[in-house]
Chains A and B, each alone.
Chain A
Amino acid sequence: MTTRIDARFAELAKQGRSAFVTFLMAGDPDPKTSLNILRALPKAGADIIEIGMPFTDPMADGPSIQAAGLRALKAGMTLKKTLEMVRGFRKDDNATPLVLMGYYNPIYIYGVDKFLNDAKTAGVDGLIIVDLPPEEDTELCIPAMKAGLNFIRLATPTTDDKRLPAVLANTSGFVYYVSITGITGSASADSTAVGEAVARIKRHTKLPVCVGFGIRTPDAARAIAENANGAVVGTALVDALRASLDSEGRATPKTVGAVADLVSALAQGVRGAKQAAE
C-alpha cells in the first residue's frame, strides 16, 4: 500500500532532506479561517500536515492546544466538519499528506467503520490517536489499516527496547517520536538525546521517524531535522495563531499570515539541516 505519506517521504529522500510536519487544530478559531490556514500551509513549506480533531478533554496536551480545541468547539467544530475541511483542501491539493490527530471518543461515537470510510473518501491519509496504545489495536488501528489508512504510532522516552516491537508492529506511514515525557508545548527537546533515540528506533524499523514536542524555533527545527526524518511543530504555530486574534478570540486579517509566516521561517530551518538521518 502506497499512500500520499509514503510518496512524500520517497520524494524527500530523493531531495536528501527531512520533512517539516505542521499541526493545526481544525476549526481554530473558526472553520472558515482554519480552512484558509490549511490551504496556505503547503506553499509556506509544510511537507505533511497534522490536523487536530478538537476534544473537550485532551489529556496529553498542554494549555495552548487545549485552548485551541476549546476555541474550535465554541465555534461549532465537529468531527463531521473536520472531514468537510479535508474535502475542501483536497479540491486544490491532492499531494500533501493529511494526518488526523486526536482522541478516540469522538471517533468511537461517530462509528469506527463509518468514520474510516468517510475519512478515506475525504482524502485523509493517516491517523494519530493519542489514547490508543497497541494494547487496544483491535479498536481502530487494525480496521484503519484494512481501510487503507496509515496508523501512526507515538513512541516515547518510556518506550524501551522490549516494548518497541509491540509499538511498531502495526505502525505505518511514519513513527512519531515524542521527544519528551510530558504534554505538548512544555519542555524543549535536546537534539543529542533525540538523535540517540531515533537511532534506537531505527534499529527496529525501516519507517521514517519524525520527532515532535518542544520544537519552537527555526534553529531547533534544523537541529531536530539533522537527527530525524522529520520535525513536527504544533504548539508554536497554535500560539502564533492565538497572538493574532482580537480580544474576543476572533480571527483578524493577520491570522492566516501569522501562521504561514512562522511556517515559512521554520521550514527554512528544516531545509537548512545538513544531512537527513538515514
Chain B
Amino acid sequence: MNPNLPNSFRTGPDERGHFGIFGGRFVAETLMPLILELEKAYADAKADPAFQAEMNGYLKTYVGRPSPLYFAERLTEHLGGAKIYFKREELNHTGSHKVNNVLGQIMVARRMGKKRIIAETGAGQHGVATATLCARFGLECVVYMGAVDVERQQPNVIRMEMLGAKVVPVQSGARTLKDAMNDALRDWVTNVHNTFYCIGTVAGPHPYPMMVRDFQSVIGDETRKQMQEAEGRLPDSLVACIGGGSNAMGLFHPFLDDPSVEIFGVEAAGHGLTQLHAASIAGGRPGVLHGNRTYLLMDEDGQIQDAHSISAGLDYPGIGPEHSWLHETGRVNYLSATDEEALAAFQLLTRLEGIPPALEPAHAIAKVMELAPKRPRDHLMVVNLSGRGDKDIPQITEILKGRKK
C-alpha cells in the first residue's frame, strides 16, 4: 500500500482548491474577486434544497434524465469478453453530457444575477448546451470557438447561431480549444460586472473543477443505481474518454471509493504518442495554465504545445486537475487511443449497434475493444457514451471519401 494514499478519493479539493499538488487558483487579480464570489454562490446553492429540487426538475423534464444504461449485446458478442453497458449520455437534450453541467452553472448564474454568459467550446457540444440554456432562460450568450473547430464542426455552429448565441471564431494560436479558452478568459477580464463564465470541463481555477464535477456526477450516481437494478451489483470497470475530462469525472467520481471497480480514462493519442497528439498524462508533465496546475503538453521552456486530435472535443493540451491527482495516486488508469482507432470504433459501433458515437467517446470505445476481450463474460464494463456522432458525420464523410480516391 502506498503510504501517501488518502482514506477517501472523494473528499477533494481542499479549501484552496487543491487535489494534492494539482488545481489551485492561478488567475489575474481582476478575476480573483469574481472567483471568490462564485465559490460562495456555489456553496450557498449547493446547501439550498430548493436549488437542488429545481435543478432535478429541469434534469428530468428538460434534459430527459435519467439517461438509460443500455446493454450493448451485439458489441459484447463481437468482442467475446466482458458484458458491455453504455451509459447513454448522447440521448440527453443537446446530444451530450455537457448539458448536465451547463444547467447547473446557468442556475448559479441566475442566482448571482448575471445576465451575460460566455463559454469556450471545442467540438461545439458545450457551446450548443450553453446556447440552449441561454435561450431557455433568456440570457445573452457568447461562445468562443477556435477557427479550426468552426470549420470542422459546422453543424454545431449553425445550431448555436439559431439558438441566438454569438459564435466568435478565435484566430490566435492553434485556433482550437486552448485558444478559445484564452479568449473567453480575456472576455471575462474585460466584462467582469455582468458576465458569468460557464466553463465546459473539470478544469480552470477553483471552484470550477469541483463544481463541474459535482454537476456531472449525476452520470455516475445514476449508473450505480441502474447497474444495481440490471445486475444486482456494482460494475467491475468503467471506461470514458478524456479531453478536459468532465464526462469521465462525472462517471468515475461516485465509484472512486469502491476498490473493486477498475477505472480507465482514455486520452486522445492523435497521430500517435511519438507524433502530434492530445494525451497530456501520457505525454505531458505538471505545469500551470488556465487557472490550475495539472498535466500539460509543453516544451522544455514551459511553452504550451499545440495538441492534435481528430476529435475537436479532445483537442486540448491539458486535463482537469483531479484527473492528474487520480493518475498520480494510481486510482485511475489513463490510456490513449489514436485518431485511426477512434475512427474504426466509430464505424464498428455504428454498424453493430446502430449508435453513431461522437468522435470523443469513440476513443473510449476503441479501448473497450482492447479491454473487453481480455475479461471474463461475467465482468461488467460500463462505457460512457458521452455524445452522439451526428455533428461528426460531415467530417468523417470527408475523411472516408479522401481514402477511397
A, B in one complex:
yes
**A73 — which chain B residues lie within 8 A by C-beta?**
303
In the bound complex, CA of A130 to CA of B291 (Å): 11
Which of B29, B172, B302 is close to A106, meaning CB atoms less than 8 Å apart?
B302
Which B41-65 residues have C-beta < 8 A from chain A? none
B30 lies within 8 A of A109 (CB): no
List the B residue with the shortest CB-CB distance to A103. Answer: B288
B189 lies within 8 A of A56 (CB): no
List the B residue with the shortest CB-CB distance to A187. Answer: B190
Distance in Å: Cβ of B319 to nearest Cβ of chain A: 15
Which of B16, B26, B178 is close to A131, meaning CB atoms less than 8 Å apart?
B26
Distance in Å: Cβ of B304 to nearest Cβ of chain A: 5
**In terms of DSSP, what is the predominant structure of the interface of chain A?**
loop
Interface residues on A, range: 35 or more
A136 lies within 8 A of B26 (CB): yes
Residue B20 CB within 8 A of the other chain? no
Distance in Å: Cβ of A25 to nearest Cβ of chain B: 14
Which of B30, B288, B300 is close to A158, meaning CB atoms less than 8 Å apart?
B30
Which of B24, B298, B304 is close to A136, meaning CB atoms less than 8 Å apart?
B24
Q: When A109-B298, A131-B288 are in contact, do A154 and B29 touch as well, CB less than 8 Å?
A: yes
Q: When A78-B301, A107-B302, A108-B288 are in contact, do A136 and B172 touch as well, CB less than 8 Å?
A: no
Residue B66 CB within 8 A of the other chain? no
Residue A249 CB within 8 A of the other chain? no
Distance in Å: Cβ of A194 to nearest Cβ of chain B: 16
In the bound complex, CA of A156 to CA of B32 (Å): 10
A60 lies within 8 A of B186 (CB): yes
A133 lies within 8 A of B190 (CB): no
Q: When A105-B288, A108-B288, A158-B192 are in contact, do A55 and B303 touch as well, CB less than 8 Å?
A: yes
List the A residue with the shortest CB-CB distance to B171. Answer: A63
Residue A59 CB within 8 A of the other chain? yes
A155 lies within 8 A of B173 (CB): no
In the bound complex, CA of A186 to CA of B187 (Å): 11
B302 lies within 8 A of A57 (CB): no
Residue B1 CB within 8 A of the other chain? no
In the bound complex, CA of A142 to CA of B33 (Å): 21
B190 lies within 8 A of A182 (CB): yes
Which B263-319 residues have C-beta < 8 A from chain A? 287-291, 293, 296, 298, 300-304
**A79 — which chain B residues lie within 8 A by C-beta?**
301-302
Which B1-60 residues have C-beta < 8 A from chain A? 16, 24-34
Residue B348 CB within 8 A of the other chain? no
Residue A66 CB within 8 A of the other chain? yes
Interface residues on B, range: 35 or more
B28 lies within 8 A of A130 (CB): yes
Distance in Å: Cβ of A219 to nearest Cβ of chain B: 24
In the bound complex, CA of A219 to CA of B27 (Å): 32
B173 lies within 8 A of A56 (CB): yes
A156 lies within 8 A of B29 (CB): yes
List the B residue with the shortest CB-CB distance to A60. Answer: B28
**B32 — which chain A residues lie within 8 A by C-beta?**
133-135, 158-159, 163
Distance in Å: Cβ of A106 to nearest Cβ of chain B: 4
Distance in Å: Cβ of A125 to nearest Cβ of chain B: 21
In the bound complex, CA of A59 to CA of B172 (Å): 11
In the bound complex, CA of A106 to CA of B304 (Å): 9
List the B residue with the shortest CB-CB distance to A106. Answer: B302
**A103 — which chain B residues lie within 8 A by C-beta?**
288
**A80 — which chain B residues lie within 8 A by C-beta?**
301
Which of A58, A109, A133, A178 is close to B27, meaning CB atoms less than 8 Å apart?
A133
Residue B106 CB within 8 A of the other chain? no
Residue B366 CB within 8 A of the other chain? no
B288 lies within 8 A of A155 (CB): no
- Jot down 21 A-B pairs with beta carbons below 8 A, ordered by A: A59-B28, A80-B301, A105-B288, A105-B289, A105-B302, A106-B303, A108-B287, A131-B28, A133-B27, A133-B32, A135-B32, A155-B29, A158-B31, A158-B33, A159-B29, A160-B33, A181-B30, A181-B189, A182-B30, A182-B189, A186-B190
Known contacts A109-B287, A109-B298; 13 additional CB pairs below 8 A are: A56-B304, A57-B178, A59-B182, A59-B185, A63-B172, A103-B288, A105-B298, A105-B304, A106-B302, A110-B301, A132-B26, A135-B25, A181-B191
